[in-house]
Amino acid sequence: MTKNILNDEAMPKRWYNILPDLPEKLPPPLNPVTKEPVKPQELEKIFPKSLIKQEVSEDRWIRIPDEVLEVYSYYRPTPLYRARRLEKFLKTKAKIYYKYEGVSPPGSHKPNTAIAQAYYNMKEGVETLTTETGAGQWGSALAFATKLFDLKCKVYMVRSSYEQKPYRRIMMETWGAQVIPSPSNLTESGRKILEKDPKCPGSLGIAISEAVETAVKSENTKYSLGSVLNHVLLHQTIVGLEVKKQFEIIDEKPDIMIGCVGGGSNFAGFCYPFVKDAEKENIKLLAVEPKACPSMTKGIYEYDYGDTAGLTPLLKMYTLGHDFIPPPIHAGGLRYHGCAPSLSLLVKKGVVEARAVGQREVFDAAVLFARTEGILPAPESAHAIRVAIDEALKSKEEERVIAFNLSGHGYFDLKAYDEFLRGSLPDT
Ligand SMILES: *Cc1c(COP(=O)(O)O)cnc(C)c1O
């Protein structure tokens, strides 16, 4: 491992918006009822004006508010490490670097946008934020961020995770959030599902429907989404902008950049600041998803809803269908039927290459990484590690520079590690 080479002074002060630099104009979100392009005002029921403005902004650079920079400085800049022991084990000539986002208090990249979203909502007088969470990474990031800006936080947590993975729920409650297992009988969307199937284990799509409905029907309450939307990906670019500076300081240039993809935010945050150089400088951008939820590699590029009930705008994206319920793999953060519209477009245009990997090969990589580099990666992040290792093994003789985003740690995922080590982890 190498020490953190970026000091506070060098921390980026602006986010990078890729919209003006996309190969073509992003297809607009459509109203779920009229199928007409959504007018920004229509979103004001669920989002604050400042975030809607960012969602549609064509400005390439957006200033990070001082209050947000202040909170970022509690854990940013995050370190860029060289994985020397992993390189040695693989007997590769490739150099492998990883950006480590697990140093944030909730343990992933997700607070980069949660902090910004909580701040803008607070500024506009919002009192409560609602959201959904699968395994709990996003919910815990928002619980943490809302506490810092004195907002209340209501989290609909997919019931199967609520029951099987108590630790992130406890973390959210410790930060003061209210956590509700979804589907619940607090919302119409939840009640409809429970009538048909009282034992429904829930899904991200259902939990989104419940959180959106609660925001629309309650006073001074807005909804917050942890991935997929333009403003979320925008906030995450702090990651890649730091990496750019860190590589400049050590006079290195990446040849391959890798990130895992659920909704696309950690991948975008890590890679978007490099997209403009990618063609010129021949940088390969690799987006990795699970074989069990293969939206980019097996889905279709089409307008679809972001949730199960069809309450959200229609987004043009790679999708497996809004009623697709992925098998219960341990990388809960990657179990989403769709993929960010901007990333979908970049995959469609061949700027980004998508790959799918299986659960067992992912845990092989996770355990090898822990045994060489020390950190137990989140199962989501281990998808990127798997492909980084595969690429390094192809570079036995070539001196390529490989960089991946270690989006979070896996210290709440020990049950998955236990199953793997005992040989009972299925390969769905
Ligand atoms: C949520 C999560 C992801 C996937 O979400 P993206 O929006 O695609 O980044 C990846 N890694 C970790 C650690 C997560 O918590």
**Residue 130, H or E segment:** strand 128-133
Closest ligand 1 atom to Cα of 107 = 13
Give the residue ranges of the chain where pLDDT is below 70: 1-9
Residue 194 CB coordination number (10 Å):
14
Global pTM reads: 0.96
Give the number of other Cβ atoms within 10 Å of residue 327's Cβ: 12
| Ligand 1 geometric centre to CA of 219 (Å) | 30
- Ligand 1 pocket, mutate which of 227, 296, 380, 406 (most atoms under 8 A from CB): 380
Indicate the top mutation candidate among 132, 260, 267 to test ligand 1's pocket, ranked by most ligand atoms within 8 A of CB.
Answer: 260
- Tokens 């907002």 belong to residue: 151
Q: What is the pLDDT of residue 328?
A: 78
**Ligand 1 binding pocket, CB closer than 6 Å:** 108, 110, 137-138, 227, 260-267, 333-334, 378, 380-381, 407-408
Structural domains present in the chain: 65-107+231-421 (3.40.50.1100)
Q: Which of 112, 155, 270, 334 to mutate to test the pocket of ligand 1 (most atoms within 8 A of CB)?
A: 334
Residue 384 CA, ligand 1 centroid: distance in Å: 11
Whether 413 and 106 have beta carbons less than 8 Å apart is answered as no
Contacts of 314 (CB under 8 A, 6+ apart): 29, 30, 31, 32, 35, 303, 304, 305
Ligand 1 atom nearest residue 409's Cα: 13
pLDDT at res. 4:
57
Separation of CA 263 and ligand 1 centre (Å): 7
Position 5 scores a pLDDT of: 59
What pLDDT score does 248 carry?
95
125-178, pLDDT tens digit by residue? 999 999 999 889 999 999 999 999 999 999 999 998 899 889 999 999 999 999
Residue 129 and residue 142 in contact, taking contact as beta carbons nearer than 8 Å: yes
CB under 8 Å to 332, separation ≥6 — which residues?
134, 135, 136, 137, 158, 161, 165, 379, 380
Which residue's alpha carbon is at the smallest distance from atom 15 of ligand 1? 137
**Nearest-angstrom CA–CA distance, 400 and 40:** 44
Distance in Å, CA 164 to ligand 1 centroid: 19
Q: What is the pLDDT of residue 231?
A: 98
* Sequential DSSP letters for 242-254: HHHHHHHHTT---
Residue nearest to atom 13 of ligand 1 (CA): 408
Nearest CA to ligand 1 atom 4: 262
114-to-71, 88, 226, 234, 254 alpha-carbon distances in Å: 11, 37, 7, 12, 28
SS3 277: helix
Nearest CA to ligand 1 atom 10: 380
| DSSP-assigned letters across all residues of 169-211 | HHHHHHTT-EEEEES-SSSHHHHHHHHH-TT----HHHHHHHH
